[in-house]
């Protein structure tokens, strides 16, 4: 039995709960489900079924819906959703060049018990997926290093330059603008990531695929 | 005649704010907007603007502006002395300003943020549908600097005849509701009791992003929570055990457990809590669980 205070996801299912007075948190089993529900939510919002002010935030295991007029009713509505996993994302492929010259490259390779060249090879061999966006406009969490996990810097840098490529946990991230940051820096990438003059200002959407190639020296 | 104001004294942090830019969290963009939304709405009403119009939000020590056009103005939020060319003007009431005059808001006597609305509203360009300045993401206009010139929009209706709007002054000890969840189960029993029993003290590192609270460390379950979406008013407990309450410029995701949410309108009162103020939470059982999807 579920209780009021402890939602438990069931196999293949999902549990939702009201958060505060205007939001609902939907707990899911993994990223594929997260992308499927987030894509379904975006589709419904575009069709005017969610309200224009609603916010949809994909997490690593959750989708948050904010700005809801009646969150309890929305929980009931969610029960009738059956998102198509195949429609989870365009799955657009981005091929991005990286100059692997970051200050923490050696530290990261050492953490993972490999040489610097082996790490670069691993990073380029993997297909990374955009798990979710957060931290800063256009900043994407690119999942692709598992089962390897990189520890963050114990002291975050007060300034990380735009275009810096960092790794933390199983994620790679590219800083769209200069900001403080605690991820280990492995290189630089000149691709656009956030551009307010574009119709969709963020390059990445959850579910997109990313491959890295080493920039010619 | 150009309808503008110029910045004579920008104050510690004065930003343009409206009701923010909801609807872009999936791009990593938070809502932002006034930290004390009812105060901005009231200021706009007092000068005849639509309530969501853009005004100025000051931080502790006010602002001074030279008006280059005739306009109505009103100051709400944190109470502060208001002067026009050195002569006292009312607080929480509309007043007329002649072109060439300097309007000065002094240091707040209580609270943190005063709001200045001007008839026609601040007409800086919009970013993603809003003029709000988001100090976390850097979206929207930069904080005011001396010499900046701000365009005003065309004034709409004349201000209402109401001369003064009663408005509660900010408090030194705030009691706010805290709707528990979604991760209150990360609090160990002792932490749960301490949450409601403690007079939390607002720390000076607080800003538009979050109120940082000092007090006994709340005992938390060990483990790592996968990053998930954050809402306005979320009470997050980082490994230090001292909670944060997220305000208007909060990040859209976070990786530490959110044990409860301070709902509107209480969260607007937290937008006026100054360093040293005490905060008490009234923990309430909030949302309830539902099952959905393919579950049998």
- What is the ipTM for the molecules in this complex? 0.92
Among the partner-chain residues A7, A21, A133, the one whose CB lies closest to the CB of B263 is A21
User: Which residues of B fall within a CB distance of 8 Å from A177?
Assistant: 138
User: Which residues of B fall within a CB distance of 8 Å from A21?
Assistant: 179, 261, 263-264
Distances in whole angstroms, Cα of residue B74 to Cα of each of B43, B71, B170: 5, 10, 18
Contact between A204 and A141 (Cβ < 8 Å): no
- CB within 8 Å of chain B, chain A residues 118-177: 132-141, 177
Is residue A75 predicted with pLDDT exceeding 50? yes
Q: What does the pLDDT read at residue B286?
A: 65
Kindly state whether A10 is in contact with chain B, defined as any CB-CB distance less than 8 angstroms.
yes
Q: What does the pLDDT read at residue B291?
A: 45
The model's pLDDT over A27-37, given as tens digits with 9 standing for 90+, comes to 999 888 999 99
Of the pLDDT bands very low, low, confident and very high (cuts 50, 70, 90), residue A52 is low
Q: What does the pLDDT read at residue B170?
A: 72
Kindly state whether B238 is in contact with chain A, defined as any CB-CB distance less than 8 angstroms.
no
The model's pLDDT over B43-101, given as tens digits with 9 standing for 90+, comes to 999 999 999 999 999 999 999 999 999 999 999 999 999 999 999 999 999 999 999 99
Q: What does the pLDDT read at residue B191?
A: 87
Cα B7 to Cα B102: distance, rounded to the nearest angstrom: 9
Interchain contact, A196 vs B128, CB within 8 Å: yes
Q: What does the pLDDT read at residue B178?
A: 97
Of the pLDDT bands very low, low, confident and very high (cuts 50, 70, 90), residue A191 is very high
Which strand (E) or helix (H) includes residue A37? helix A31-46
The CATH 2.40.100.10 domain(s) of chain B lie at 173-285
Is residue A147 reached through a cis peptide bond, with omega within 30 degrees of 0 on the bond before it?
A: yes
Q: B96: helix, coil or strand?
A: strand
Mutation target among B252, B260, B264, B283 for the A interface, most CBs of A within 10 A = B252
Interchain contact, A202 vs B128, CB within 8 Å: no
Of the pLDDT bands very low, low, confident and very high (cuts 50, 70, 90), residue A11 is very low
Q: What does the pLDDT read at residue B222?
A: 87
Among the partner-chain residues B229, B262, B287, the one whose CB lies closest to the CB of A17 is B287
Interchain contact, A136 vs B28, CB within 8 Å: yes
- CB within 8 Å of chain A, chain B residues 117-176: 127-128, 136-139
% of chain A with per-residue pLDDT over 90: 70
Among the partner-chain residues A57, A140, A196, the one whose CB lies closest to the CB of B229 is A57
User: Which residues of B fall within a CB distance of 8 Å from A142?
Assistant: none
Cα B193 to Cα A98: distance, rounded to the nearest angstrom: 50
Question: Helical H runs in chain B?
Answer: 37-46, 189-197, 266-270
Cα A38 to Cα A8: distance, rounded to the nearest angstrom: 20
Residue of A nearest to B290 (CA): A16
Is residue A206 predicted with pLDDT exceeding 90? no
Q: B203: helix, coil or strand?
A: coil
Q: What does the pLDDT read at residue A4?
A: 38
Q: DSSP secondary-structure letter at A192?
A: -
Question: Helical H runs in B47-117?
Answer: none
CATH 3.40.50.280 fits A15-85, yes or no: no
Residue of A nearest to B262 (CA): A20
**C-alpha distance from B228 to closest chain A C-alpha (Å):** 4
Alpha-carbon radius of gyration of chain B: 20
For chain A, which residues make up each domain, given as ranges? 15-85, 93-214
Average pLDDT, rounded, for chain A: 89
Thinking of the domain B173-285, which architecture would CATH place it in?
Answer: Beta Barrel (2.40)
Among the partner-chain residues B127, B136, B181, the one whose CB lies closest to the CB of A17 is B181
Contact between B116 and B43 (Cβ < 8 Å): yes
The CATH number given to A93-214 is 2.40.100.10
Interchain contact, B182 vs A25, CB within 8 Å: yes
Given a cut of 50, the residues of chain B with pLDDT beneath it are 290-296
Q: What does the pLDDT read at residue A85?
A: 77
The model's pLDDT over A78-92, given as tens digits with 9 standing for 90+, comes to 999 999 877 665 689
Cα B28 to Cα B40: distance, rounded to the nearest angstrom: 25
Residue of A nearest to B285 (CA): A5
């Amino acid at each position: 039995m579920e209780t009021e205070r402890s939602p438990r996801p069931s196999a293949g299912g999902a549990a939702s709960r009201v958060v505060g007075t205007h939001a609902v948190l939907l707990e899911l089993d993994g990223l594929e489900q997260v992308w499927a529900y987030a894509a379904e939510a975006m589709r419904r919002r575009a069709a005017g079924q969610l309200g224009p002010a609603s916010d949809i935030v994909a997490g690593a295991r959750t989708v948050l819906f904010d700005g809801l007029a009646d969150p309890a009713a929305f929980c009931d509505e969610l029960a009738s959703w059956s998102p198509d996993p195949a429609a989870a994302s365009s799955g657009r492929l981005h091929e991005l060049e990286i100059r692997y010259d970051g200050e923490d490259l050696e530290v990261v390779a050492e953490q993972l018990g490999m040489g610097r060249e082996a790490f670069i090879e691993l990073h380029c061999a993997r297909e990374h997926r955009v798990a979710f966006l957060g931290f800063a406009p256009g900043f994407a969490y690119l999942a692709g290093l598992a089962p390897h996990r990189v520890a963050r810097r114990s002291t975050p840098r007060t300034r990380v330059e735009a275009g810096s490529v960092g790794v933390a946990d199983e994620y790679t991230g590219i800083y769209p603008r200069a900001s403080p940051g605690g991820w280990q820096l492995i290189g630089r990438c000149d691709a656009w990531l956030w551009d307010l003059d574009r119709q969709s200002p963020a390059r990445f959407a959850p579910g997109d695929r990313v491959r890295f190639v080493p920039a010619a020296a | 005649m150009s309808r503008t104001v110029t910045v004579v004294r920008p104050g510690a942090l004065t930003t343009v704010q409206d009701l923010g830019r909801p609807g872009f969290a999936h791009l990593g963009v938070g809502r932002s907007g006034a930290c004390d939304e009812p105060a901005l709405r009231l200021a706009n009403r007092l000068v005849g603007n639509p309530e969501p119009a853009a005004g100025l939000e000051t931080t502790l020590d006010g602002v001074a502006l030279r008006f280059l056009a005739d306009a109505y103005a009103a100051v709400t939020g944190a109470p502060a002395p208001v002067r026009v060319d050195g002569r006292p003007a009312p607080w929480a009431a509309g007043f007329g300003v002649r072109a060439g005059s300097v309007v000065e808001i002094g240091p707040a006597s209580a609270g943190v943020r005063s709001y200045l609305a001007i008839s026609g509203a601040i007409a800086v360009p919009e970013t993603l549908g809003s003029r709000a300045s988001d100090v976390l993401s850097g979206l929207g206009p930069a904080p005011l600097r001396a010499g900046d010139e701000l365009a005003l929009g065309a004034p709409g209706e004349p201000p209402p005849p109401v001369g003064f709007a009663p408005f509660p002054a900010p408090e030194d000890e705030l009691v706010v509701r805290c709707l528990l969840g979604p991760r209150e189960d990360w609090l160990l029993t002792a932490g749960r009791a301490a949450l409601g029993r403690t007079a939390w003290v607002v720390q000076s590192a607080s800003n538009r992003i979050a109120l940082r609270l000092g007090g006994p460390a709340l005992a938390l379950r060990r483990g790592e929570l996968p990053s998930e979406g954050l809402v306005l008013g979320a009470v997050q407990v980082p490994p230090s055990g001292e909670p944060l309450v997220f305000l208007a410029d909060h990040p859209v995701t976070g990786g530490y457990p959110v044990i409860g949410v301070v709902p509107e309108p209480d969260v607007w009162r937290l937008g006026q809590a100054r360093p040293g103020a005490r905060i008490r939470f009234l923990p309430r059982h909030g949302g309830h669980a539902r099952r959905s999807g393919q579950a049998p």
